[in-house]
């Protein structure tokens, strides 16, 4: 049986046939699973490299999603269907900015699979306003659903306030705003709010267990500070709901010198303020009939 390293080395032999391989896979997915390619999901990630891999030409320092800014990395871009079938990928230099990649992938997909009516779904950090404008003004029937920058949400804040929430699912409500040919969908999720509250409480509970263990073990003060620093990093924003009294310099660590409690008023206020809201902007017609699109969004069930 071939070792995994040998299989990995075989990838270098087939990379020159990548375009033909993807064309073959697309045809097979269409024949076997009746796959559709009119909605495409586009995203990027990075993977850091250590050891001999640092000599790879494309390995460069850049924004690390793994928080390994001390290591070189490469950026991987991927286009898939909603069912998860990959249509294209590219391995790019580690210092590649997400915002510089979309235009080339629009051309790559069209060159590989022909011109067709397609909707691109992506994070707000990927397209630039210039590329979105090109997509709107193009005659290629390229449409998009993309996250909205916070600046855009604030720009239309007064208009949002004049609109009422409309329920589209059991725990999801939306506000709709048609502006400059685009449809903005502001959504809030009660289920997501409950999930985030539960996650915060779980982190708080873990943090309290660690602090109680420190009380029992009675480490030296310098060791205590290191442990609390590590616990604070792990707890993240949940640490701000805790009030901690540390022993003075030279004082032994005991239950009386190390005290802590949950700031209940601050925690309750945060729970009341936790409203998980996201906003998407949609463009799907050259001359959009916004009223019909609003009705379509109102009828969404999934």
pLDDT digits 0-9 by tens, 31-70? 998 888 888 999 999 999 988 888 888 999 999 988 889 9
Alpha carbon distance 98, 61 (integer Å): 14
The verdict on 278 and 164 lying in the same domain is yes
The verdict on 158 and 297 lying in the same domain is yes
Predicted local distance difference test score (pLDDT) of residue 145:
92
**In the listed set 112, 146, 180, which residue is the last one of a domain according to the structure?**
146
Predicted local distance difference test score (pLDDT) of residue 52:
82
Q: What backbone phi and psi angles, to 5 degrees, belong to 107?
A: -70, -40
Domain holding 3, by residue range, is 1-146
Residue 247 exposed, middle or buried by CB count within 10 Å (0-12, 13-18, 19+) = middle
The verdict on 127 and 173 lying in the same domain is no
The verdict on 168 and 286 lying in the same domain is yes
**pLDDT tens-place string over residues 152-187:** 888 888 888 888 888 888 888 888 888 888 889 888
Predicted local distance difference test score (pLDDT) of residue 2:
59
The verdict on 104 and 196 lying in the same domain is no
Positions in the chain short of pLDDT 70:
1-4, 272-277, 284-302
Structure tokens at 222: 């310098």
- pTM comes to 0.72
In eight-state DSSP terms, residue 60 is: B
**In the listed set 146, 172, 190, which residue is the last one of a domain according to the structure?**
146
**In the listed set 130, 146, 162, which residue is the last one of a domain according to the structure?**
146
The verdict on 2 and 135 lying in the same domain is yes
The verdict on 183 and 270 lying in the same domain is yes
Q: At 102, which CATH number?
A: 3.30.420
Q: Is 291 left (phi over 0), alpha (psi -120 to 50) or beta?
A: alpha
Predicted local distance difference test score (pLDDT) of residue 295:
53
């Amino acid at each position: 049986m071939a070792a995994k390293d040998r299989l990995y080395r075989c990838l270098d032999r087939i990379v020159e046939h990548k375009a033909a391989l993807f064309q073959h896979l697309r045809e097979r997915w269409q024949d076997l699973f009746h796959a559709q390619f009119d909605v495409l999901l586009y995203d990027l990630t990075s993977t850091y490299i250590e050891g001999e891999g640092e000599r790879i030409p494309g390995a460069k320092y850049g924004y690390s999603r793994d928080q390994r800014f001390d290591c070189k990395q490469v950026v991987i871009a991927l286009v898939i269907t909603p069912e998860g079938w990959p249509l294209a990928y590219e391995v790019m230099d580690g210092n590649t900015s997400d915002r510089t990649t979309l235009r080339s992938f629009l051309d790559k997909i069209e060159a590989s699979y022909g011109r067709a009516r397609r909707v691109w779904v992506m994070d707000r950090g990927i397209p630039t306003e210039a590329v979105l404008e090109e997509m709107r003004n193009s005659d290629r029937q390229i449409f998009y659903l993309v996250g909205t920058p916070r600046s855009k949400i604030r720009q239309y804040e007064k208009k949002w306030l004049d609109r009422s929430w409309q329920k589209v699912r059991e725990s999801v409500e939306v506000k709709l705003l048609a502006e400059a040919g685009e449809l903005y969908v502001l959504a809030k999720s009660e289920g997501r709010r409950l999930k985030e509250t539960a996650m915060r409480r779980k982190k708080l509970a873990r943090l309290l267990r660690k602090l109680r263990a420190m009380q029992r073990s009675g480490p030296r003060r310098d060791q205590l500070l290191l442990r609390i620093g590590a616990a604070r990093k792990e707890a993240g924003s949940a640490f701000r709901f805790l009030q901690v009294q540390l022993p003075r310099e030279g004082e032994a660590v005991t239950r009386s010198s190390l005290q802590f409690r949950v700031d209940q008023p601050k925690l309750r206020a945060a729970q009341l303020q936790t409203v998980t809201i996201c906003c998407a902007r949609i463009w799907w017609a050259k001359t959009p009939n916004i009223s019909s699109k609003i009705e379509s969004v109102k009828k969404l069930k999934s």
